[in-house]
Structure formats: C-alpha cells, structure tokens
Amino acid sequence: MGAITNESLRRTSRIEAYSARVFDFRLAKYGALMGLLHAASEVASDVIENPGYSAEERHVLISAAISPIAEFTDKNELYIDSDLGAHCVATFMGAEDIRDIEDTDQKNENTELIWNMYKLARRMIREASGVAEIDKFFKKMTKPNLSGPIIERLRYLEEHPEEIRRLREKSN
C-alpha cells in the first residue's frame, strides 16, 4: 500500500512540476495568437470599410492577414487547441466579399457574422489559455465594483445585441 501511495505522490509531483512550465508556454502562445487575430481584425476592418480596393486587392489583403494565423496555429499545434486554431483561421474568411454584396441587410448580416466570430475567438482564447479562470479567481478574491457610464452602456449592449444592429444600420 505504501509503494502505491508513494508512486501516486511522485507522479502527481512530476505533473505539477511540468504543468507550471507548460501553462506559461501555452499562455505565451495564446497571447501571440491574440495579437495575430487583432492585426487581422484591423485588416478586415479596412477591407470591409474601404471602397477603394478592388476585389483582387481585398482578397490579397485578407489572405495575407489569415496566413500568419494559419502558420502559427499549425506550428504550435502542441500548445494551441486544434478546434480553436481552425476557428481563428476561419474568422475573417469572407470579409473580402462583403463589399460586393448589394443587399444591405445581407451585407450587414455578413459583417456582423465576421465580428461575432472575432469576439467568439477572443473569448475562446481567454478560456483555453486559462486567463478567464484566473480572472474569475481574482474577481472573487478582490470583489471589484466596476461601474460607470461606459461600463454600464457596454453591459446594456451585450444584453441587447439588436441595439448594436440598429446602430450599425443607422450609421450606414
């Protein structure tokens, strides 16, 4: 019985020793992925908003933004969840075609889909990296009272996505 307990404790200790190093490395990889996604979002925004690009230029720009994400997730498949990596690669696919859509409702729907995919990718990165769980722990420990007009408006908009749609339609 003592030998089994000793072996179990030894394995647990070894797992704990490696898990801290793996966590740090994964966190760095997910942080880099978040940076690549952010850079791609800026390109996608420009491609969606700027009428000066031809269809071919838009395609080249989006491809150039997506390619580093695909290469990074492939290169770091040991640390980055493959489903999440695939989602991140696909997040901005189709953004280059939005300018060609003539139906305003369809254009708005496709644009919203792109930004919802981006928002979802960011949330999943936070969860997969462990940052979301750490944030919950810190909030539970510190019990911050984060409030103010901007924060309250953001919370309202999160609860009422139809308001965001209405504001976007109004601005177009």
Residue range 105-146, pLDDT digits in tens: 999 999 999 999 999 999 999 999 887 787 777 777 777 777
Lowest-confidence pick of 5-14, 57-66, 78-87, 130-139? 5-14
Domain count, the chain: 2
- Select from 83, 82, 79, 113 the least CA-distant residue to 95: 113
39-43: list long-range contacts, CB under 8 Å, 24+ apart.
39/65, 39/68, 40/65, 40/66, 40/68, 40/69, 40/91, 40/92, 41/92, 41/118, 43/92
The verdict on 95 and 166 lying in the same domain is no
Residue 12 lies in a domain: no
The verdict on 43 and 61 lying in the same domain is yes
Whether the model pTM is above 0.85 = no
Report the pLDDT averaged over residues 154-162: 85
| Structural domain boundaries, residue 167 | 130-172
Residue 105 lies in a domain: yes
**Digit-coded pLDDT (tens) for 77-104:** 989 999 999 999 999 999 999 999 999 9
The verdict on 121 and 136 lying in the same domain is no
Per-residue confidence (pLDDT) for residue 9, from 0 to 100 = 60
Residue 8 lies in a domain: no
The verdict on 100 and 72 lying in the same domain is yes
Residue 23 lies in a domain: no
Residue 161 lies in a domain: yes
The verdict on 72 and 119 lying in the same domain is yes
The verdict on 118 and 81 lying in the same domain is yes
Phi-psi label, residue 146: left if phi above 0, alpha if psi -120 to 50, beta otherwise: beta
